[in-house]
């Protein structure tokens, strides 16, 4: 049977360490890191993610500010971002995506002060990351790298196939996995909806990352024996047997694929908790003014 890459467990260990660090900062007269979250609209999944992010912050002793609007004009949102940019008490800011259609995501991202952009979406952070310079790295790719590192999974000389090229997950991960460091030094193939013969490529993967949002897309026939599978996908699938009326499903047909893997992430409990842990790590770096200094 494969090793389950337990994101809950690793994230818990990260939170414990962060909690200690916050204690040390406060003991030496410093202030706890402070994350502000802006949540616009009524998307149920966004509300769930924000709740989980706030809970994780509180658990490690970070201060939080939630700015929530059922609806807001773009100019008012940009003004509020500017206020947070100029507020020395706040170290990190995220605007939960997706945003309502009348708001330009790019405008919003561009308006966040790069030092406070703990989601790592600002072009300056993205560019620094791509140049292998210290930067706020997007939380999901950072969480995946941290998980690979925790389980000592070899990446050098291995073929990493990533399905999904979003600017928040697949594309930045493809850059990071190809860089000259660990985890990295992989040969990377980035697939998307225009990729032909996807199965031929996924079958070559030593490390397969699925970040699509298509439940069960990756089947047993699409992977080779011994592959490491990272399932980023989270989709709410209607399920009347569940109290919530839905269950969360990944992009990988877990039951069929797991027996062929050396390692695999579960959904939920794999990449999700690691994403939140990575956000906490970025927020601490922001609070310590370490976003642009090497570790």
> Rule CB under 6 A: is residue 277 a binding residue for ligand NAP?
no
Cα 82–chain centre separation: 24
Strands 235-238 and 246-249, bridge-based pairing: antiparallel
Q: Binder to ligand NAP among 96, 146, 155, 168 (CB under 6 A)? A: 168
Q: In the block, which residue shows the tokens 């929530």?
A: 68
If one asks whether residue 213 binds ligand NAP (CB under 6 A), the answer comes out as: yes
User: Cα 194 to chain center, whole Å?
Assistant: 24
Q: Is 233 in the site for ligand NAP (CB under 6 A)?
A: yes
Considering the rule CB under 6 A, would residue 269 count as an interface residue with ligand NAP?
A: no
Residue 164 backbone class (left: φ over 0; alpha: ψ -120 to 50; beta: rest): left
Instruction: Note whether 169 binds ligand NAP by CB under 6 A.
Output: yes
Asked if residue 162 binds ligand NAP (CB under 6 A), the reply is: no
Q: Is 31 one of the catalytic residues?
A: no
Residue 50 or 90 with smaller CB distance to ligand NAP: 50
Question: Binding residues for ligand NAP, how many (CB under 6 A)?
Answer: 25
Tell me: does residue 195 bind ligand NAP (CB under 6 A): yes
CA distance 122 to 115: 10
Chain centroid to CA 260: 26
- Is 140 near ligand NAP (CB under 6 A)? yes
Respond yes or no: is residue 116 known to be catalytic. Answer: no
| Residue 31, both tokens | 């202030």
Is residue 96 annotated as a catalytic residue, yes or no? Answer: yes
d(CA 293, CA 134): 6
> Residue length, the chain?
295
Q: Do 194 and 149 form a contact (C-beta atoms < 8 A)?
A: no
| Of 6, 80, 96, 116, catalytic | 96
Place of tokens 């410093």: 30
Q: Does 56 bind ligand NAP (CB under 6 A)?
A: no
Q: Which of 77, 78, 94, 234 binds ligand NAP (CB under 6 A)?
A: 234
92 binds ligand NAP, rule: CB under 6 A:
no
Q: Which residues bind ligand NAP (CB under 6 A)?
A: 140, 163-166, 168-170, 191-195, 198, 211-214, 232-235, 271-272, 275
Active site members: 53, 96, 119
């Amino acid at each position: 049977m494969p090793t389950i890459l337990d994101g809950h467990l690793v994230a818990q260990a990260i939170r414990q360490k962060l909690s200690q660090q916050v204690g040390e900062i406060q003991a030496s007269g410093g202030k706890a890191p402070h994350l502000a979250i802006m949540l616009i609209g009524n998307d149920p999944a966004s509300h769930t993610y924000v709740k989980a992010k706030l809970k994780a912050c509180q658990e490690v002793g970070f201060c939080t500010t939630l700015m929530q609007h059922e609806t807001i004009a773009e100019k008012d949102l940009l003004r509020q971002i500017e206020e947070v940019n100029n507020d020395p008490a706040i170290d990190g800011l995220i605007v939960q995506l997706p945003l309502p259609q009348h708001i330009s995501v790019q405008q919003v991202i561009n308006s966040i002060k790069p030092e406070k952009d703990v989601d790592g979406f600002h072009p300056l952070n993205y560019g620094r990351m791509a140049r292998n310079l210290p930067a706020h790295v997007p939380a999901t790719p950072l969480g995946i790298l941290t998980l690979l590192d925790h389980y000592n999974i070899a990446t050098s000389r291995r073929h990493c196939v990533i399905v999904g090229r979003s600017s928040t997950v697949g594309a930045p991960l493809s850059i990071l996995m190809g860089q000259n460091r660990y985890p990295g030094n992989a040969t990377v193939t980035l697939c998307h909806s225009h990729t032909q013969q996807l199965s031929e490529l996924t079958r070559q993967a030593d490390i397969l990352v699925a970040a699509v949002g298509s439940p069960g897309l990756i089947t047993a026939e699409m992977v080779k024996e011994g592959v490491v599978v990272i399932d980023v996908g989270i989709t709410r699938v209607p399920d009347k047997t569940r109290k919530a009326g839905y269950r969360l499903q990944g992009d990988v047909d877990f039951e069929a694929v797991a027996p062929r893997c050396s390692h695999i992430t579960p959904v939920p409990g794999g990449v999700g908790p690691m994403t939140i842990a990575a956000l906490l790590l970025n927020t601490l770096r922001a609070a310590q003014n370490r976003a642009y200094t090497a570790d």
